[in-house]
Structure 1
């Protein structure tokens, strides 16, 4: 059997290019997504265009004055061909999506390949704003993997989910076929594949790179074979994608030439903390800690200058059950703040974490990852959680379902799918019982907790290959994947073991460039993407021209501040980019 089957091959030029799907700068910067002619039956081309719009805007700061397309990045149209397949790792239940973009200007002499893993749990275009925008204009092929997550949701009531072209399908035509306990609601691949995909992130990246070489043989048979010895390969990723490329760096053999990891979700072999530990801790304590005076000016920590009702309720709940002993809100917030500091959280990370608390992101991430670590099917998620349509049945829901592949982020809530608890939460702090259950899966000693901890243990990183150059970039203010727990800890560990790793720590950079269009965030924080582009440039210079790897750097850019409530335009000089 052909290892590339099924293989979907599509041509993209003119008004439907590889990088922007014909949207160009104006279309990508537009605040509303490209429309469908028929919302109940969007075409594959319409879904692709909208997926590219969604993923650009989910990762890059495209707001006016943010600098994208001015002194870093670009929107130039690139014509070429896409090859998309569903690949399955040996022993896995479910496939991951792999998509190869081969530009018409592929450099057949100085052959190059960028292999990228989607950020977060995003779909197959989840790295296009960095890997595609950097690699395609340089004549490199770019291969993407959704690393076993992505937007292949399945409505368990109808049996419908996206097929390889993104349109709704049933049965074997779906890209994700959930197994195990049947249930109402929605199956999400990251949570319900029963594969614990995070444990295999590195293998996903390597398999994607192998597939890309086979695709290049098909695209350019006269220049075949395309091998690791004849194709220079750089792996790059952001957030979960950054963790994936660092896990790929462990893979044996000289198949990979360099790695660039940005704000990686990675648990180093020595030091650091696993995601599930600090996410469940933050979910419980951070809403209360944000009521402390230290966070009075943190965006989303206050409502009209006052402590949020959620903070007041969480402090009272934790005091009521004896977790905190303070007699009033001030004392309770101070104690919650001190507990987070004692486990390694910086004030900068807590302040940026207010965004995740305000949008209930901690709970969504914890529920999704608990299910993945436990290898639970959709009908048996831990702690009584499930995902379901909101609302479950209507014409609007039909249109939402049809757009899942393009619109979803890979972790609900969003795209018409919500996180549901059974029994329904009640009271002034309704999320607390579920969060306590999720935290107990890390701290407890029952079989359910043991299963989750076993799944987490499988995600711990090993050292990168001894001769593999790595550039790692992390923001000091990251409130979702704190630098001290992930990128910084990994860099210290790798360097202590003699690995050729350069580490850039960037002050005033948090996790979400895409939110910097919000004036309060844009005034306080700088984007991380300019440093990602500079790191790719430095890696390319090292591999192609023999330039020395850049050294470690603690970068101190100047935040934009605000003038009359709006941040002034960002400048390259203010970012103090490495040379």
Structure 2
């Protein structure tokens, strides 16, 4: 570990004999099924919580359905016995700790030492990237180091002063160290969430989180195999990989890697921001939250899966368009013309048609608003009870299973409410379009004036990527139809920037791939797309072959022949994976 790393007590657990590192003993069939029940719902054991957390992390990222191809066309699920080392770590200058974890398989490859380091996608908990980093690395004998990058599911209830302990169980503040314990939070502040309320703007330090996890991984390998220590970047190849926010985090680590400890970086659908190029996530997320609902009335969205679910009657898209016109933001008078006017506006802002069609699902699920709330609070460094635009998180009350829901927050939560028994409150009125005031407020933090807007834009600016070293292999894999992190706003400008700066990244823009492989198990949606995860596995294979065998890095054009799977099972021909 670096002298600047602060790491608490390390918890060591073994996972063998019906338990393992990759699936917690569930195997493929268990992971593809429903979550296992707790013997005592209000007091789950550490083992039960870990199993549930691994299950939800796999199901949230991978398509494990019978048509999806996992285990036949890509990936495998052997039992991987071994040990886990987990701790709370703190970056220099940070207020709150974060969680780091290292999985060391019993079959660690001592001949070709390998450490895969990864960051959780979205704001997920520590196992969030297990489907990618663990799924690729553990079966081949690599150790895997994880970081929640300052987010995660260590929800703190300000009413009863409970949070999440290192083993995942809930405990009172002051009894033992907690994953997140906000200082001086009032008892009526609701639920405090680390990403939104730590006061650290963790996204600004994504790269440092990944590099710290890599150093922690090397230190735990020293502990696991003391006779072979020290493990260093000179004798252990370190591959960084991640999905979505985790993909952005490993690219940020590539730019922050002044020590040269990373051997290669593979980023899938990365949320990455380059100053002066592309668009920052908060910018286009709040734009989508405000405008995309009003576009859904256009015939452009007829037949698009998930485009119009979950919206109120009368149709929510027509109400949004009418309200925007009432505020003087639209000129057209008729609903159809209003929707088309919004489409023209979004296209002029850089939105491509495929991204809007797939992004309609995030619109109908209210994902844009939900995510933007957490980011606004993080960028402005607000505490629970003082979130921008009047938003707050509250525990759902009144149900007989409240205690059971709370007990499973660490395993079931996504890191960004609503969900898992935590609701998003505030930012609404009693109009026919009740969420519009909060969305307009969130958007004004990007476009408007005042101290809050200035603080937010400064917070976003601090997340800009830096250039990686010239000889670092960087592979970027992104779906051409990504509707949450559109490739035109993120990977394409990042790759163009690298090339203009003398770097030689590999860029696979995968036709028909979108952001959520987990959505592909739904009928109609899966018929139109290919999963992205197999291309991530293939990119890791190529990066590893380059490092160990000296093979040339692949070309960009190797994935141009991918096509939708249709109504049947995914085939090798539809994937058109590049050769190993």
Does TM-score exceed 0.5, indicating one fold? yes
Between the aligned partners of 1:222 and 1:458, the Cα distance in structure 2 is 42
Alpha-carbon deviations, 1:186-219, whole Å to 9, x = none? 0011100100000000000000000111111111
Preserved contact between residue 364 and residue 413 of structure 1 (Cα < 8 Å)? yes
Between the aligned partners of 1:14 and 1:487, the Cα distance in structure 2 is 43
Preserved contact between residue 385 and residue 420 of structure 1 (Cα < 8 Å)? yes
- Equivalent residue for 1:83? 85
Alignment partner of 2:415 out of 404, 410, 418: 410
Q: Secondary structure at the match of 1:471?
A: strand
- Equivalent residue for 2:169? 167
* Distance apart, 1:425 and its partner CA: 2.6
* Distance apart, 1:170 and its partner CA: 1.6
* Distance apart, 1:179 and its partner CA: 2.3
Alpha-carbon deviations, 1:218-239, whole Å to 9, x = none? 1111101111101100000000
* Distance apart, 1:269 and its partner CA: 3.4
Preserved contact between residue 291 and residue 301 of structure 1 (Cα < 8 Å)? no
Between the aligned partners of 2:36 and 2:309, the Cα distance in structure 1 is 33
- Equivalent residue for 1:284? 290
Preserved contact between residue 18 and residue 79 of structure 1 (Cα < 8 Å)? yes
* Distance apart, 1:180 and its partner CA: 5.0
Between the aligned partners of 2:321 and 2:516, the Cα distance in structure 1 is 27
Q: Secondary structure at the match of 1:9?
A: strand
- Equivalent residue for 1:571? 571
Q: Secondary structure at the match of 1:474?
A: strand
- Equivalent residue for 2:49? 47
Alignment partner of 1:226 out of 216, 228, 231: 231
* Distance apart, 1:381 and its partner CA: 0.3
Preserved contact between residue 153 and residue 161 of structure 1 (Cα < 8 Å)? yes
Between the aligned partners of 2:431 and 2:7, the Cα distance in structure 1 is 53
Q: Within 5 Å, which residues of 2 pair with 1:94-493?
A: 94-172=96-174, 173=176, 174-182=178-186, 183-251=188-256, 252-302=258-308, 309-391=315-397, 393-421=398-426, 424-493=428-497
* Distance apart, 1:507 and its partner CA: 1.2
Between the aligned partners of 2:185 and 2:192, the Cα distance in structure 1 is 11
* Distance apart, 1:5 and its partner CA: 3.0
Q: Secondary structure at the match of 1:11?
A: strand
Preserved contact between residue 560 and residue 568 of structure 1 (Cα < 8 Å)? yes
Between the aligned partners of 1:178 and 1:369, the Cα distance in structure 2 is 17
Between the aligned partners of 2:464 and 2:314, the Cα distance in structure 1 is 36
Q: Secondary structure at the match of 2:521?
A: coil
Between the aligned partners of 2:230 and 2:554, the Cα distance in structure 1 is 33
Closer/same/farther in 2, CA of residues 4 and 462 from structure 1, 3 Å limit: closer
Preserved contact between residue 309 and residue 364 of structure 2 (Cα < 8 Å)? no
Alpha-carbon deviations, 1:449-502, whole Å to 9, x = none? 111111011001111122110000011111100000001111111112111210
With the length of structure 1 as denominator, give the TM-score of the two structures: 0.96
* Distance apart, 1:178 and its partner CA: 1.0
- Equivalent residue for 1:516? 520
Preserved contact between residue 153 and residue 186 of structure 1 (Cα < 8 Å)? yes
**447-456 or 267-276, which deviates more:** 267-276
Q: Secondary structure at the match of 1:234?
A: strand
Alignment partner of 1:552 out of 538, 543, 556: 556
Q: Secondary structure at the match of 1:68?
A: coil
* Distance apart, 1:305 and its partner CA: 13
Alpha-carbon deviations, 1:371-414, whole Å to 9, x = none? 000000001100000000112x5541111110000000111111
Between the aligned partners of 1:573 and 1:142, the Cα distance in structure 2 is 31
Between the aligned partners of 1:133 and 1:464, the Cα distance in structure 2 is 26
Between the aligned partners of 2:419 and 2:185, the Cα distance in structure 1 is 24
Between the aligned partners of 1:55 and 1:66, the Cα distance in structure 2 is 17
- Equivalent residue for 1:564? none
* Distance apart, 1:525 and its partner CA: 1.2
Closer/same/farther in 2, CA of residues 333 and 135 from structure 1, 3 Å limit: same
Alpha-carbon deviations, 1:125-174, whole Å to 9, x = none? 00001100110111110000000000010111011111100000121422
* Distance apart, 1:308 and its partner CA: 7.5
Preserved contact between residue 100 and residue 212 of structure 1 (Cα < 8 Å)? yes
Give the ranges of 4+ consecutive aligned residues of structure 1 lying more than 6 Å apart after TM superposition.
304-308
* Distance apart, 1:297 and its partner CA: 1.9
5+ unaligned residues in a row in structure 1: which ranges? 562-566
Q: Secondary structure at the match of 2:401?
A: helix
Give the alignment's Cα RMSD to 1 decimal: 1.7
Count of residues in Structure 1 that have an aligned counterpart in Structure 2: 571
Between the aligned partners of 2:16 and 2:260, the Cα distance in structure 1 is 34
Q: Secondary structure at the match of 1:419?
A: strand
Alpha-carbon deviations, 1:92-116, whole Å to 9, x = none? 0011100000000111221110001
5+ unaligned residues in a row in structure 2: which ranges? none
Q: Secondary structure at the match of 1:243?
A: helix
Preserved contact between residue 480 and residue 487 of structure 2 (Cα < 8 Å)? yes
Does 2:505 match 1:501?
A: yes
Preserved contact between residue 68 and residue 569 of structure 2 (Cα < 8 Å)? yes
With the length of structure 2 as denominator, give the TM-score of the two structures: 0.96
